[in-house]
Chain A
Amino acid sequence: MGGYGDVKLLRDDGLRLDGRKVDEMREVKVEAGILPAADGSAWVKHGLNVAVCAVYGPMEAHPRKIQRQDRAVIDVRYNMAPFSTSDRIRPGYNRRSREISKVTAEALESVVLVERYPRSKIRVEIEILAAEAGTRCVGITAAAVALADAGIPMRDLIVGVASGKIEDTVVLDLDKAEDNYGQADLPMGILPTTGEIAFLQMDGDLSVEEYNTCMEYNLKAAREIHELMVDALKRRYNEKNGGEA
């Protein structure tokens, strides 16, 4: 967290700079099946963030040393396009994207029924086209929809959400200014049906009470986004069947 204490992030009327209430998330839009070359794909716009995800597979796992005899491996690549941020990013992998790719893969491995596809690989390609705080969560949401669109069985549709703290107040879904100048950020990947957590990171400073409020906000947001994900998949399914079902 940047932690510049003198930047004002809450207005006098208690609303945030962009007019949201503390427990209000940015607008989310979801589309499934947008990339013809992929086996499954999704587009998610969350506030000003845009993530696209393509899923390929299950396919033969290679090199062979990555194969697992009893399950599929999930190969995630999270990547920010060079033009996705206000200063251009040099193309290629960096430490941040490698770490996010790793923990995202582990989150997805906990929801995908990987034991159905021994010795195979499922490729999940997350591309961030516009970044404005919270891209790892948007990537997880997009990955879940793309996996479902590819017909890969999962225990639940995992949803990426985040809460945090600005000016000693817990808020849902930090935007860029809040992320830069806030006090804490708690991104999670939540299984909305059971409330389990498959992805967790945090940085900053939170009391236990504040953590509990974050958790409550995240669960609520995950259920809202989950409905949008299901709607997108239903639209896609109807389209594939040539009309309304």
Chain B
Amino acid sequence: MVELVPSLLRQELAALAANDERIDGRGRWDSRDIKLETNCLYNAEGSAKVTWGDTIIYAGVKFEIRTPWPDRPAQGSLMCGAELRPVAGRKYEPGPPSPQSIELGRVVDRGIRESGCIDMDSLCIIPGEKVLGVMIDIHVLSDKGNIFDACALGAIAALRTAIVPAERFDIGEDYPLAVSMTPTMCSFTRVGGRFVLDANDEEELGGDERIHITLGDEGHLHSLQKGLKGTFTPAEFDEILGIAQQRCAELANLVNSKEA
């Protein structure tokens, strides 16, 4: 469907930005309220529901036994995918995975993978024959802005609460998946000419480029992505990276508080 965009919305957002205000009354670096629930999906081995303002996503972890890749015979695998199905909003259409949903899944995947929070060697059962595959599926149910951060939070929270169903696979007793770190994502969108944290759906509609930053423990960078049309300056990036450092630490604390 063609989005009837809103030059009026852009004007309004620019006028608000000039007074350092936002359309829903938040400050520039304020996030919406976040509610995180874990172990909420019956058939998933690890799961999380994130209610981020009016955005709602579920993440579920499943395991499979598979043969290892020939070049990495003693390593398991990790895959994270996101589905932007038409349930998520009026603008989403049925069909094969859209470039947007592939970008979403891959950016979340990189943040988790590159943080090294899962030791791929630990997923090996019999070298060259049997390894564990870890699959995180993210399901967006209501997109009211900033699904990236909500999905990244749900994915790591589901992973951190996952139990490997070893008994079902006949490889011993069930055990919790070892996850050594809590990478979290913080996204910024240019709205009315300046970057803001956690844009809502109206700000995304009338805004410009976005930057996604995934930080692990000790504030190390693990995944960056710039999306949509626009450019930014190194000084702007320095500023939002500083905000992301604080914010990601808070998100990681939220995830860690949910562990059993």
Contacts and interface: CB of A to CB of B under 8 A. Distances in A.
Nearest to B49: A129
A56 B93 CA distance: 12
B142 A83 contact: no
B94 A129 contact: no
B90 interface: yes
B178 interface: no
Contacts of B139: 81-83, 127, 129
A215 interface: no
B176 interface: no
Given A37-B88, A37-B89, A125-B87, A130 B142 contact: no
A37 to B, nearest CB: 4
B110 interface: no
B132 to A, nearest CB: 13
A83 B87 contact: no
- Give the interface size bracket for A toward B: 20 to 34
A79 B60 contact: no
A123 interface: yes
A127 B85 contact: yes
Contact of A54 (B64, B141, B144): B141
B137 interface: yes
Interface in A27-67: 34-39, 48, 50, 52-54, 56, 59, 62
A48 B42 contact: yes
A133 to B, nearest CB: 12
B137 A91 contact: yes
B83 interface: yes
B144 A86 contact: no
B86 A35 contact: no
Contacts, number: 103
B87 A36 contact: no
Nearest to A55: B87
Nearest to B168: A86
A87 to B, nearest CB: 8
B61 interface: yes
Given A35-B142, A88-B137, A91-B83, A56 B42 contact: no
A85 B43 contact: yes
Contacts of A167: none
Interface residues of B, number: 34
B56 A35 contact: yes
A210 interface: no
A77 interface: yes
A82 B60 contact: yes
A88 B141 contact: no
Contacts of B64: 87-88
A220 B49 CA distance: 34
A110 interface: no
B60 to A, nearest CB: 3
B62 A88 contact: yes
B143 interface: yes
Interface in B48-98: 54-56, 58, 60-62, 64, 81, 83, 85-90, 94, 96-97
A183 to B, nearest CB: 25
Contact of A125 (B54, B81, B85): B85
B177 to A, nearest CB: 15
A83 to B, nearest CB: 3
Contacts of B181: none
B141 A83 contact: no
B61 A52 contact: no
A48 to B, nearest CB: 5
A54 B43 contact: no
B87 A129 contact: no
A213 interface: no
A86 B43 contact: yes
Contacts of A54: 87-88, 141-142
Interface string A7-41: 00000000000000000000000000011111100
Given A38-B89, A84-B43, A132-B42, 18 more contacts: A36-B55, A37-B54, A37-B90, A54-B87, A59-B90, A83-B41, A83-B58, A83-B139, A86-B43, A87-B62, A88-B137, A91-B137, A123-B86, A125-B86, A127-B87, A130-B42, A130-B43, A130-B44
28 contacts: A37-B55, A37-B89, A38-B89, A38-B142, A48-B42, A50-B41, A54-B87, A54-B88, A54-B141, A56-B90, A62-B1, A77-B94, A81-B137, A81-B139, A82-B137, A83-B41, A83-B44, A83-B61, A83-B139, A84-B44, A86-B43, A86-B168, A88-B64, A91-B97, A92-B96, A127-B141, A131-B43, A132-B42
